Structure 1
Amino acid sequence: MEWTDEGILLSSQSHGETSSIVTLLTATHGRHAGMVAGGQGRRKSPLLQAGNHLMVRWRARLADHLGSLTLEMITPTVAPWLGDPEILALIASATSVTEASLPERQPMRALYAGLAALFALEEKALWGPAYVRWEMGLLQTLGYGLDMSCCALSGAKEGLAYISPRTGRAVTEAAAEPYIDKLLPLPGFMCGAPDWNDEDILKGLDLTGHFLSHHVFAHPQNRRLVPVDGMLPLARQRVASFYQNRVNSTAVVA
């Protein structure tokens, strides 16, 4: 058995004294693992950074075997952002969420394209909102998409401001007033508004995080990353903490 594809590296773990077992999201073969001989060596370790865009060749005697991987760099996603804690945290979160949420060996072409587009961003300011939108796309693909087409109570299409944590449907500020303490804020950039700040990104993370924890990670695909049902991967928790700390710092300065 053999195939060639392109993929995004999600994780790498040491195996024995010299090899590594890596997991990738591939363009046409879904989430797929394999062993990289010499993966712990100096020559190959730069390839095995989560987020890197790689050319992948997989070989195995039988289709259900782990198999071996040969990797070549296409784009070093991490290298341009070394020293930038925000972008590195977002890359780590995206790869962890992807690995923990997707079943193995099922093609996920739209999710692959979305993750590749996120990692290809060159403008730092776009990463935060783009990451939140990427999580929205993940929820949609997995069957837990948010409905922001119109207000669930009034039918209005403008002024959507909250999401029901139970149904995932949007409501306007006016319609939400009697239930506001039970709803999740919907930041404007998630509906197409051109401006945002750290508080908006944090609200977006809280919103998508609610549905990830209550639905996607209620039965996680990866117990190493999500050992407890309903828990977000640690890398995802760190992203929320990063923006929370920045919001708190801004409030103190103000």
Structure 2
Amino acid sequence: MQPVLQPGNEVELVWRARLEEHMGDFRMEPVRLRAAQLMESATALYGVQAMAALLRLLPERDPHLYLYDSLSIILDHLHDPADAGELFVRFEISVLNDLGFGLDLAECAATGARTDLIYVSPKSGRAVSREAGAPYADRMLVLPAFLSDRSRGADHDSLLAAFRMTAHFLNRHVYEPRGITLPAARDGFVQSALKVLKSTASAAS
């Protein structure tokens, strides 16, 4: 079953045993086979590896239905770097939330305002408005516009800022406390997605 058991493929597993405490065995049926298509693109290949590394951080046997549904959507769009980068950032934010370190990007931490949010506090993970954050701008993380306004899509610069933001909180709350580093596959995905976006923007101009 090795050709089927590849990252990106979707299978249905049925576990059977005579008694619950027995080891039992699995019967597996393929549902969607995406692996071959994912291997055609560096962005997709790095992306599926990076997401798999993220999912290994979750507690075993805990249900994460939203992440499961999100993963399925992203896997269908990993071949498009523009969509893949934005979806991947949102996936990282969702993983942080499920691990108990959710970001609050809906309103300003200082004033409660819901408009002109351009910063994120590196300590609290909360959004900060332009006015409230101005005195501390050099210490703030950039809040990409596409994360605070769903009507806007990501471009090269906003996606780069988003990757830096999620990397900061993943390192601070997840990787550094466990004595590990961001997976190399994530860096490969980031570089690949940004490279394609940059070249696309250059061609359009």
Q: Shared fold by TM > 0.5?
A: yes
Indicate the residue corresponding to 2:192 in structure 1. Answer: 242
* Residues 139-197 of structure 1: CA deviation (Å, up to 9, x unaligned): 11221111112111222211111111110010122322211121111111112242221
Indicate the residue corresponding to 2:72 in structure 1. Answer: 116
Distance 1:121 1:65 in 2: 40
SS of the residue aligned with 1:211?
helix
TM-score by length of 2: 0.83
Q: CA deviation at 1:94?
A: 0.9
Distance 1:108 1:123 in 2: 24
Indicate the residue corresponding to 1:207 in structure 2. Answer: 165
SS of the residue aligned with 1:46?
coil
TM-score by length of 1: 0.69
Asked if the contact 2:53–2:183 (Cα under 8 Å) also holds between the matched residues in 1, the reply is yes
Q: Which runs of 5+ in 1 are unaligned?
A: 1-43, 221-228
SS of the residue aligned with 2:105?
coil
Asked if the contact 1:59–1:68 (Cα under 8 Å) also holds between the matched residues in 2, the reply is yes
Any residues of structure 2 matched to 1:178-189 within 5 Å, and which? 178-189=135-146
Distance 1:68 1:216, change over 3 A: farther
**Would you say 1:233 and 2:191 are equivalent positions?**
no
SS of the residue aligned with 1:178?
helix
Please identify which structure carries the higher strand content. 1
Aligned residues: 202
Any residues of structure 2 matched to 1:85-124 within 5 Å, and which? 85-99=42-56, 101-121=57-77, 124=80
Please identify which structure carries the higher helix content. 2
Any residues of structure 2 matched to 1:123-202 within 5 Å, and which? 124=80, 125-191=82-148, 192-202=150-160
The higher-RCO structure (CA 8 Å, 6+ apart) is: 2
Distance 1:196 1:69, change over 3 A: same
Letter of the 2:96 counterpart: L
Distance 1:241 1:62 in 2: 49
Letter of the 1:114 counterpart: S
Asked if the contact 2:85–2:190 (Cα under 8 Å) also holds between the matched residues in 1, the reply is no
Q: CA deviation at 1:120?
A: 3.1
SS of the residue aligned with 1:69?
strand
* Residues 110-149 of structure 1: CA deviation (Å, up to 9, x unaligned): 2212212222338723221011111111111221111112
Letter of the 2:83 counterpart: L
Q: Which runs of 5+ in 2 are unaligned?
A: none
Distance 1:103 1:174 in 2: 40
Distance 1:111 1:59 in 2: 26
Q: Which runs of 4+ in 1 moved over 6 A?
A: 247-254
Letter of the 1:132 counterpart: V
C-alpha RMSD of matched pairs (Å): 2.9
Asked if the contact 1:150–1:171 (Cα under 8 Å) also holds between the matched residues in 2, the reply is yes
Distance 2:44 2:18 in 1: 39
Asked if the contact 1:97–1:236 (Cα under 8 Å) also holds between the matched residues in 2, the reply is no
Distance 1:194 1:252, change over 3 A: closer
Letter of the 1:90 counterpart: G
SS of the residue aligned with 2:4?
helix
